[in-house]
Amino acid sequence: MLVSLQEMLQEAEKKNFAIASINTPNQISLRAVIQAAEDTGMPITLNHAQTEENVVPIEIAIPLILEYAKQSSAAISVHVDHGYDFDHCMKAVRLGCTSIMFDRSRFSLEKNIEDVKQFIKIVKPLGIGVEAELGAMPNNMPSEIHGQETSDLSDLSVYYTDPDEAEIFCERTGVDVLTTSFGTVHGMYAGAANLDIERVKTIKSKAGDVKLGMHGGSGTPFDQVQSAIDAGIKKINYFTAIDTAPAPHLLKTIQEAKNPVNFCNLANQAMEIIYEETVKVLKIFKNDK
């Protein structure tokens, strides 16, 4: 069933769990992730990122995701992840997305605030939830695509969200989700993860009714993920670990095959692996102790 991100966030706050926000840039991932949500009873957000336009255009991705979401027994919101420019985000509005991340984090605090405020004024009457980002998410995904350039990972603290700026941002924008930087990495970590959980607690104390988001969940030890949830994180983006999980298994299947391998068989194997990985993550995000 299609539900609003805002409704999910209220439930997550009440029951102290985190909504899994997962990119599904193909039908195999889409079907696997939804099945995992149905079988675990966990709500999810299905993402289409602007950086995935070269994989599948938003005009194709969103209608398909919406159709699957409406037919599912799971609670699902349909979200644009890292929408960097206004035109792309408005395209998402017209296509029927229930929430949108308007990512202006690369600009100054003042411009980020003003741009997000103006966007919220447009989409709030339509019931569309808005996510924004403050601080910077370092990347370990080599790419020439904007937003996926490889970052210097030698000192992650230089990317952290400032709690005082977060307070100002939340007060002035009234955004639904503020994504914060406190030690996670887009892609996979170059070393051991060491999240600044105390920073999350401080930001939570200053954020008012705004819920906090975490990107770069892949590779984060699950005990640290649950500590972040307890500290106030209520939406977690998790994709790389799920998306890369099938490759080693498919390679082994191809290498050991005595006959030509049908793509449909590989697709079914990939779907099962993505399903299993998603179930594992959803159970962690449920945060049962």
Q: What is the CATH number of the domain that holds 41?
A: 3.20.20.70
Query: Average per-residue pLDDT in the chain?
Result: 92
pLDDT tens track for 261-286:
999 999 999 999 999 999 999 999 99
pLDDT tens track for 166-190:
999 999 999 999 999 998 876 555 5
Structural domain count of the chain: 1
pLDDT tens track for 81-109:
999 999 999 999 999 999 999 999 999 99
Contacts of 277 (CB under 8 A, 6+ apart): 241, 242, 245
* Number of helical (H) and strand (E) elements in the chain, helices listed first: 11, 10
Q: What is the pTM of this model?
A: 0.92
Q: If we measure between CA atoms, which residue out of 130, 118, 204 comes closest to residue 161?
A: 204
Residue 252 lies in domain: 5-286
Could you count the other beta carbons within 10 Å of the beta carbon of residue 114?
15
